[in-house]
Amino acid sequence: MNRTRNELLFLIGFLVLSTSVEAQVQDLVFVSVEPCVAFDTRPAQGGTGSLEAEELREFHIIGSTADFGAQGGKVGGCGVPGFSGDQPVARAVFINYVAIAAQGSGQIKAWAADKAEPVEGALVNYQALTPPMNNSNAVVTELRQNQQGDDIAVKAKSAGVHVRGVVLGYFTADHITEVIAGTGLTGGGSSGAVTLSIADGGVGHDQLADDSVWGSKIQAGAVQTEHIGLSQVTSAQIQDETIDRFDIGPGEIRAGHIHGWTVRSSPGVLIPGGTGENGSWSTAVQTASCPVGSRAISGGAYWSPSPEDHEELAIVSSCISNSVGACVSLSLNGAHTSFTARGGNDSGVDREFIAWVMCISN
């Protein structure tokens, strides 16, 4: 196959292992690698010399930090993953053992370095021939599982020989068995190639992180009023001075769209109407205040009943009139939280004087 990483499911009971793997019946994934020399005992290849008869030597297989060059292997290793924390990732390796320059008749044995030597399990038979002949055999060898380093043990039985190990792939239990579509997604599956897609309506405000979507990312006209639920956009989501009156069409904002505004009134006070002649004014002051957490945006005052001769003066410091009737002067406090109204009555009719203020939440 042309792929360098082919994921195939193998049941370990069907594998021909170089050593007896203890009755484990579990799915493992085989991951192939480009053929890679993990060790070669020949000094010309970087090794330390042939294995003598009955000599046992341990070799690094997993990870990338071991000194693979010192054992005649590829510097940086062969792509077999090392431990994740204190847990092994690779469980076994598929490796081609080559017996080279045999000094007599013998066998190569190999097993996981943290296990005892198996009684049986010769992997490659070799003998001294003229002309010389190299023998090889590709088998699965379990890897050391208790720590990283010196992963397999290799032994020459009966006669000395050079040994070359070429890694062809490895087995791991860490694999995906099913892809489940989570919130807002559709698709998934438990076999074959699977696809995940965004479901219709699958992405709502709950799936978006704060400040993750900006206006520059939204295509013009992509968001219509029907896409926005009631009260989903508040003043906290709108940057100051980004909306002006030219952005709002006729009839687009109605009272039901405005959130957080209130109108407060003063209790009201009765002001005598006087004689209805100049100089007989009666006055009173009324203040209407906004609730905590809001500010005044408008205010005023009114008479009840309304005078026939009614003069309203906006934001003036006093209410003075030389004519018969009633007047109002208004002032906004410095914190913009209340309106104060001063009323004067010389209409000849006793009237109630009331101040009001319109407030909006901060």
- Which DSSP state fits 143? P
The 10s digit of each residue's pLDDT in 311-340 is: 443 333 455 544 445 666 677 777 788 878
Query: 5-9, 30-34, 104-108, 131-135: lowest mean pLDDT where?
Result: 5-9
* Domains of the chain and any CATH numbers: 8-172 (2.60.120), 262-361 (no CATH)
Quick one: pLDDT at residue 39? 98
Quick one: pLDDT at residue 104? 97
Q: Please, is 348 exposed, middle or buried when counting C-beta atoms within 10 Å of its C-beta (0-12, 13-18, 19+)?
A: middle
What whole-number distance in Å separates Cα of residue 333 and Cα of residue 353? 20
Quick one: pLDDT at residue 268? 79
Query: 56-70, 99-113, 232-246, 319-333: lowest mean pLDDT where?
Result: 319-333
Chain centre to alpha carbon of residue 161: 55
Model confidence at 231, in pLDDT bands (50, 70, 90)? Answer: low
Quick one: pLDDT at residue 307? 67
CA distances, 276 to each of 174, 192, 344 (Å): 98, 97, 12
Asked if residues 356 and 289 have their Cβ atoms less than 8 Å apart, the reply is no
> In angstroms, how far apart are the furthest CA atoms of the chain?
143
- Across-strand partners of 261? 360
Quick one: pLDDT at residue 26? 59
Quick one: pLDDT at residue 270? 83
Query: 51-60, 159-168, 171-180, 300-309: lowest mean pLDDT where?
Result: 300-309
For the cut 70, the answer to whether the pLDDT of residue 2 exceeds it is no
What is the model's pTM?
A: 0.49
Percent pLDDT > 70 in the chain is 73
Quick one: pLDDT at residue 260? 65
Model confidence at 19, in pLDDT bands (50, 70, 90)? Answer: very low
Q: How high does pLDDT run on average in the chain?
A: 79
Quick one: pLDDT at residue 128? 95
Asked if residues 359 and 261 have their Cβ atoms less than 8 Å apart, the reply is yes
**In 10 A of CB 129, how many CB atoms?**
11
